[in-house]
Structure 1
Amino acid sequence: MSNVSESDANPQSESSSNVHPGETRSNPSSGQFPKGRSGNPKGRPRGSGSRGARTSAFDVLLDKTLTVTNGDQTREVSMEEGLQQRTFRDALAGKRLAIREVLKWMMKREEWRAKHEPKPVVKDIPPFIPSIDPDNADAALVILGIAAPNPERADIRADRAQLLLEPWAAQAALNRKRGSEPLTERNRYDVQRCTRDPKSLVWPGSRK
């Protein structure tokens, strides 16, 4: 005769007695939880996801430094600067992805400059108008007695009359000269060359 009790014959009888009415107990060995109930009621801790881990690892990577050799000189640069230099060299080598990345950098730089750099001040400069000596006043100068034809240049075939200023007109202009700057030798030469009887002129600051 067997000594096995009723409870030993039915091992689930004791555990099933702890289940409340309307509830079903999951099988511990199945690894599943009842429908509608989470196995982790408090939820996943913040930053424990794969995205947070990747972001943290990337930040740590950018904080590292590299030793760059340029000729005989070596210096330490950040990981970000090192990656930028590598991308720039790849772009110069003709790699398309690197060229696209460098072009993006250039566009961002131009956008930043257009937004932050001061705009140049454009000044309205009047157009340069060359000095013109019109010949339509020659006849009026002769009529008013301000100038007269130069006999020494009468045989010159020119497009306009060769005139000389009358001494009185040149002297009146010299007397009206104002300012502390004296006439230069070039100024004196031009006045004498264009005046009839230039020796009769009295120069400012001198006595006749």
Structure 2
Amino acid sequence: MAFKGCPGVEDSFSLTNTKGLLQSDVVCDEFGFCHAYASAEVVGAVYAYEQSLKTKTWPVTHIPLSAQQLIDALPYNPEIGMVNDYIKNYGITTKSDYDNARAINEELINIHQMIRYRPSTVTNIKNSVDLKRELRRYPLVGVIDTASESLHHLKRHDIYASNGIGDHAVILTGYGTVRNQKCYEFKNSWGVEWACDGYGLVERDAVLSIWRPKEIQVVEPELQLPNDPL
């Protein structure tokens, strides 16, 4: 998406060209819940890829998972390590299941009564060869700095280069070299008006950590006895 029409692009790859892997919409998050949106979409995409690989069925079918569950369960603007621990321990419900339950009574949501998608591992990838190989399969969660105003005003085909304290989670969707700068393509959560229809470019060295959930397990709902509370 961000590479399209960009001058000086070489050796680029984008998952936006892989049908069904990414959610088509771009979230407009005004409240600092970037880690929830990024983690939910990436876990859903990795599960879709793993299932397609297992069944040899293509194109993949993305499973929309509930960012709202993570928003409700975790403190405001949590560190990425806290998010990773939560999804490994509890998993993420589907967006439809959780949002429907929340609409009925948000105080009585029991995620253990819902199907959940739980990664066996969430690892930090540091090797550039591994990164490129993984990004040809599915998106990854990247953490970048948001202290610089240049990110908020990033223009189409500009490359973000700040490497301050990382506190903003994005979805890495591709890689390439643009005007001799090695960079990643990423999907942000600031709406379609931002940068290139919600996607941007960031220097590889400006991505401070990159996380990969793997081996997504489907956790079946727990049996509820007749006299159990909801």
Q: Please give the TM-score of this superposition, normalised by the length of structure 2.
A: 0.17
**Structure with the larger RCO, 1 or 2 (CA within 8 Å, 6+ apart):** 2
- Structure showing the higher helix proportion among its residues: 1
Q: Which of structures 1 and 2 has the bigger CA Rg? A: 1
